[in-house]
Homo-oligomer: A and B are copies of this chain.
């Protein structure tokens, strides 16, 4: 196992258990090959995505299939303990994203008399394109850690949007960690081991498993479908659009603060979808609400999914083909003064609601350069005018400043705690 290969055994995808004979070389080659700028990990389901870089991985990385997201409360009040934790977490993240155990020694290599330093459930699994992305919530800057004057102006407490029904136990948090991978066991393992390392210093505030991606973040990825059965994210910002990323995703020196340059802001919204009501709505109504054809994903009035939508074309009776309250119109940058966001959400289903229905929906995650001028106006437009809102319920919310990528030898947040 040479050439930067993880020391874990390479098995079939997602625990399928069929040994990938001869795949080691291929995966190693993917992990070691120079990657095109901005398009990380696009070419391998099982290989490793580099951890270090200008930006954190897990943003423009080709959206992996599964996600485990967690928000933590920080329990220690000592700045140096928080910094020590961020350093330990970074080391563990470097290792786990490379397909190694969280800590050297790991599950079975240490003393038999001590608790293992890795929980073991990913021992036999390949890196699976794992990315681990950290964010800092508004409450981290409340003064406990001497950060009160370093809170970014754009890291606002999100306003209450029309129709919000937020559960405080699914909202907020001092820190968030997004783990994405093509094997859910690898993503869950990553979160669980960070929680283990943080024992006594942080506690889990809330967490969310996403079973299926609802966004593409590279041009090579097919557009997936959400729980309404529609293709979602056709017009998403793609990793190849470096100008759009510069203008709408990455925090610049001009934006500040300095410590966040190269970073971004993450907004998470747990959106319960009332799928049983949706399923009793006619196809025409569904397509008018979304503004797209359900089969092809084409914007109304167009033929193919990626045909440019036309917000001006009128149909019978002189009414716009894409209605004034259609979802894709309200969410379009044409109607939002050019504002764009990078979406990276996941379908979820969390059991049932006790009323005879599945508790399912979209765990919306987006990244943007300034949520005040991008996510917030978009969500205000949607929450107040989108006909789809009748079928949605926002039940959780979080806003986090995502620091820039870590350089070799650095740690998550080193620019903040410097």
The answer to whether A185 and B211 have CB atoms under 8 Å apart is yes
A30 in contact (CB, < 8 A): no
Tell me how far the C-beta of A195 lies from the nearest C-beta in chain B, rounded to whole angstroms.
7
Tell me how far the C-beta of A196 lies from the nearest C-beta in chain B, rounded to whole angstroms.
5
Which residues of A74-123 have CB atoms within 8 Å of chain B's CB atoms? 107-108, 110-116, 118-123
Bound-state CA distance A287–B111 (Å) is 13
Bound-state CA distance A140–B388 (Å) is 38
Which residues of A196-242 have CB atoms within 8 Å of chain B's CB atoms? 196, 199, 203-209, 211-213, 216, 220-230
Bound-state CA distance A242–B167 (Å) is 51
A371 in contact (CB, < 8 A): no
Which residues of A350-373 have CB atoms within 8 Å of chain B's CB atoms? 350-352, 354, 356-358, 360
Which segment of A7-15, A145-153, A309-317 sits at the interface? A7-15
Tell me how far the C-beta of A137 lies from the nearest C-beta in chain B, rounded to whole angstroms.
16
How many of these chains are in the complex?
Answer: 2
Chain B minimum-CB-distance residue to A351: B207
Chain B minimum-CB-distance residue to A209: B349
Q: Determine the chain B residues whose CB is within 8 A of the CB of A15 once the complex forms.
A: 65, 212-213, 222, 224
Most buried by B among A66, A169, A195, A212: A212
Which segment of A248-256, A278-286, A325-333 sits at the interface? A278-286
The answer to whether B294 and A120 have CB atoms under 8 Å apart is yes
